[in-house]
Amino acid sequence: MPSVHDLLAHQVATRPDALALEDVTGARLTYAQLSAAADEIAEVLNGKGIGPGDRVMIVSENCAAKVAALFAIWRLGAIAVPINARQTAAEIARVDAHAEPKAVFFTTQISPDAEKHSATAQKKVADIDTGTISGAYGTLSLHCPRGDSFPGDRDVAVLLYTTGTTGEPKGVMLTHANVRFGGKTSAELRGMHHNDLIYGVLPTTHVFGLCSVVVAAIHAGAPVRLVPRFVVADVFDALRDGITLFSAVPQMHALLMAHAKALGDTALGSKTLRYVSSGAAPLDPTWKREAEAFYGVAIQNGYGMTESTAGTAATRNQIGDPDTSVGPALPGIEIAIDEAVPGGEVLTRGPHVMKGYFRNPGETAKVLDDHGWLRTGDLGQIDAEGKLHILGRAKELIIHGGFNVFPPEVEAALNDHPGVVQAAVVGRSKDGDEEVLAFVQVPDGSVLTERELRDFVRDRLAGYKRPARYVLASHLPAAPTGKVLKHRLIETFADQLT
């Protein structure tokens, strides 16, 4: 069975001395060095009894050591379980209890949070066998709790835990074929080549950063600069210093433009940036025009989810194109709309669809049918040109006064206001109906008021779509990718909604 590790082996065989990765520790690894680092980790893991079908958790932030560990795990036929070190101990413990990893790595050199979790775990986990692997690629800590392998899952490359809108973690099983397909498709879509320098700020614990950035880059032989966290000033400077490809979520783009505005800049001014993509949330026309003016290149939109290995559809537009769809289906992928679901649910089928949810056949059966169709839970339409338009999440559809309210439409109207960094809209049951709630992120020191926002959207939204309540805040609860966690908004700002 072809493995994701084969992609690295190919680069070692053809371009061993070419740069593969660099990170903020100063590590600069060629493909040969990355492979050697992976081999050293694999040797230690194998010595601890790790083999095909075993799960190995990696508690980490973006760094070269994390990527070396991934390829070590794949070389052994084991299954990687990447976890962002910024999660709480309780969140990590929940995944640990469900995945039952046989080993856990902590990238302690790059991440203070990983170091903290490592120290705690060594005190709490019984029968710990710890070791340290040092080298130019970084330092990793290892402990080995008990765990059973699952021979039937030996085609699985990675377990990615996602909470979705329910808050309950589910382990998405992506096979080696899934991950290879996702990397190849992403590389070809972006036209990645050896002379690129890709900025890797999206967490590699998330499918977007893992498949569409790192695996895609290794497939194409393009070097990646990995950074552990999104720090707007650092990203702004880096994008003006040799970066050619930048993939992000709309929240990151919004913060970068707000940072430039605070500096008195209207444009990024990069001489090398050639490709910018946005995912995880719909675009609105005004924002898209502003972002393209800022970057100086077209903003490519895309659609995907963890269960579909990130990519399902994507645009290939020229700068200035007013298209705000997520584009047509990517090559080899099918998309359909189930009109029986109010609003129309997006279905997809192809080599990008997950194997299922780990140890959860009930939830798997809810989203995967016998013909291979995946129910995405997203609402959408396909236009006459075959382009997909995402209207929102089925579970987030708000029915107010008998009318359907799609949160992305309300968010787009709010995001048009120059004083808004980003907006998130959810519904809340009230008196047998649902009211529209708007949570608006504004810059520190902002003087924007709720009344201004109400006046602003009056001519942009029909009465039933206008928010009943507004919450203005300098920060909204967000995932490590920057995506707003809508299921936490009402709880987080409960005191302002009473």
Q: Give average pLDDT by consecutive 10-residue segment, the chain, 498 residues.
A: 94 97 89 91 85 92 92 95 88 87 85 84 40 48 57 83 66 97 97 97 91 97 95 94 90 86 91 89 78 95 90 94 93 96 92 95 95 93 95 78 77 90 89 85 91 92 89 88 83 89
Residue 159 lies in a domain: no
Q: How many domains does the chain have?
A: 3
**Are 192 and 326 in a shared domain?**
yes
**Are 198 and 319 in a shared domain?**
yes
The pLDDT of residue 152 = 56
Which CA distances in Å does 421 have to 241, 259, 472, 474? 25, 10, 11, 9
Query: CA–CA separation, 256 vs 266, rounded Å?
Result: 11
Sign of CA dihedral 44, 11, 276, 334: negative
**Are 311 and 196 in a shared domain?**
yes
Query: CA–CA separation, 421 vs 95, rounded Å?
Result: 32
Q: Which of 373, 393, 413 is the last residue of a domain?
A: 393
Sign of CA dihedral 407, 413, 418, 419: negative
Q: Which of 91, 120, 154 is the last residue of a domain?
A: 154
What lies within 8 Å, CB to CB, of 142 at 6+ separation is 44, 45, 48, 103, 104, 105, 129, 130, 131, 132, 133
**Are 383 and 254 in a shared domain?**
yes
Query: CA–CA separation, 95 vs 172, rounded Å?
Result: 12
Which residues are paired to 405 by β-bridges?
Answer: 398
Question: Which structural domain, as residue segments, surrounds residue 16?
Answer: 5-154
Residue 448 lies in a domain: yes
**Are 130 and 236 in a shared domain?**
no
Residue 164 lies in a domain: no
**Are 31 and 43 in a shared domain?**
yes
Q: Which of 393, 426, 454 is the last residue of a domain?
A: 393
Residue 163 lies in a domain: no
Residue 170 lies in a domain: no
**Are 76 and 122 in a shared domain?**
yes
**Are 46 and 195 in a shared domain?**
no
**Are 258 and 374 in a shared domain?**
yes
The pLDDT of residue 460 = 85
Residue 168 lies in a domain: no
CATH of the domain at 477: 3.30.300.30
Beta carbons of 350 and 339 less than 8 angstroms apart: no
Beta carbons of 412 and 284 less than 8 angstroms apart: yes
**Are 452 and 331 in a shared domain?**
no
Residue 110 lies in a domain: yes
**Are 108 and 237 in a shared domain?**
no
The pLDDT of residue 434 = 83
With CA atoms as reference, report the closest residue to 174 among 189, 148, 155, 188: 155
**Are 12 and 72 in a shared domain?**
yes
Query: CA–CA separation, 299 vs 330, rounded Å?
Result: 17
The pLDDT of residue 464 = 82
Residue 183 lies in a domain: yes
Which residues are paired to 334 by β-bridges?
Answer: 349
CATH of the domain at 122: 3.40.50.12780
